[in-house]
Amino acid sequence: MKARYSVIVPMFNEEEVIQITYERLKKVMDDCGDSYELVFVNDGSRDRTAEIMRGISSRDEHVKLIDFSRNFGHQVAITAGMDYAEGQAVVVIDADLQDPPEVILQMIAKWKEGYEVVYAKRLKRHGETFFKKVTAKIFYRLLSSMTSVEIPTDTGDFRLIDRKVCDVLRGLKEKNRYVRGLVSWVGFRQTMVEYVREERFAGETKYPLKKMIRFALDGITSFSHKPLKIASYIGFFLSFSSFIYLFLVLFQKVFTSWTVPGWASIVGVNLLFNGIVLMLLGVIGEYIGRIYDESKDRPLYIVRETKGYPDAEIEDTRKESDYAR
């Protein structure tokens, strides 16, 4: 019998917390009173995460393991979990226990009311630095203002989606994935539950500043063309300003005897304009780079091993979806 609920847990170097995560998830899902599966996706961990999960999977038939051949990224790990999930309702939760597993029961209650997407909105974020809280707040509001898709603020990937939503998401083939944005983009009936995000139980954050910036770029470029429009507006404004300045220089040269010779102003203007041009080229390059990634059409991830799937074979491509091919 297929599981009614699937819980997807992406993992990367989580050996210090994964046992506790499993125990809390198991307790919550046992309390729900229905069949379930726990789909743990090992995203190329370099510690004992995969080894621990193999042992748990051999003892508990509810536990499935998908082991990547290398690190493909958090969003890709979530996507792989959706590809393998069998449940009528699919929950995504990180392994670090900042998102309390007990909230899943509230999500299931909302799903039974008829909602097809139930996302968790953070009221507070314990254990995070002031810098991360401020930058996260700015990013979510900036993304909301730049996109035509209504992406809820102060939400992460912790959410429940219906089977039909999961199948549609499986059919979206883009490489630079921003899952929470894609969930908003596909639509369906959506609601939220509120919760307080806890401090990380153990280990270190898997989103340092460099990954946070990359993640923000994926979110903005995946759902907005406004940076390109802003680049065009800036280019037009600078061209118009330069044209006006040219008239001013010609006026001074022809009708006055006072001109300002010197290299300082010329160098300063050149540096300013060249810097702006390079910045605009960088914005365009971000979009071109993503076009290049899509054109290569490589598989999104490669699976080295699976546990808990009796008839599953090692796959090197994503499963085909019945929707949105």
Q: The domain that contains 198 carries what CATH number? A: 3.90.550.10
Number of folded domains that form the chain: 2
| Domain shared by 124 and 262, yes or no | no
| Domain shared by 75 and 93, yes or no | yes
The predicted structure's pLDDT at residue 315 = 45
The predicted structure's pLDDT at residue 271 = 58
The predicted structure's pLDDT at residue 169 = 87
* 165 occurs within a structural domain: yes
* 218 occurs within a structural domain: no
CA distances from 224 to 140, 292, 313 (A): 13, 18, 38
C-alpha of 162 from chain center? 19
* 279 occurs within a structural domain: yes
| Domain shared by 165 and 314, yes or no | yes
Question: Residues 34-91: pLDDT tens digits?
Answer: 889 999 999 888 888 888 988 898 888 889 999 998 888 888 899 899 889 888 999 9
| Domain shared by 78 and 62, yes or no | yes
The predicted structure's pLDDT at residue 192 = 87
The predicted structure's pLDDT at residue 126 = 62
Dihedral of CA atoms 56, 59, 61, 65 in degrees, nearest 10, equals 30
| Domain shared by 33 and 116, yes or no | yes
* 258 occurs within a structural domain: yes
| Domain shared by 291 and 242, yes or no | yes
The predicted structure's pLDDT at residue 229 = 63
Q: Helix-strand-coil percent breakdown of the chain, rounded to 5?
A: 50, 15, 35
* 236 occurs within a structural domain: yes
The conformation of residue 10, written as its DSSP 8-state character, comes to: E
The conformation of residue 102, written as its DSSP 8-state character, comes to: T
The predicted structure's pLDDT at residue 232 = 63
The predicted structure's pLDDT at residue 184 = 83
Residues 52, 60 contacting (CB under 8 angstroms): no
**What is the pTM assigned to this prediction?**
0.66
Residues 73, 12: Cα–Cα separation, whole Å: 9
In the chain, at which residue ranges do the beta strands (DSSP E only) sit? 5-11, 36-42, 63-68, 89-92, 117-125, 155-162, 190-197, 303-307
* Six token digits for residue 76: 């890709």
| Domain shared by 194 and 101, yes or no | yes
The predicted structure's pLDDT at residue 71 = 87
The predicted structure's pLDDT at residue 324 = 39
| Domain shared by 185 and 233, yes or no | no
| Domain shared by 189 and 260, yes or no | no
| Domain shared by 191 and 243, yes or no | no
| Domain shared by 14 and 95, yes or no | yes
* 30 occurs within a structural domain: yes
The parts of the chain modelled with pLDDT lower than 50 are 201, 263-264, 312-325
The predicted structure's pLDDT at residue 14 = 86
Q: What domain range is 18 assigned to?
A: 5-208+299-324
| Domain shared by 168 and 304, yes or no | yes
Three-class secondary structure of residue 147 per DSSP: coil
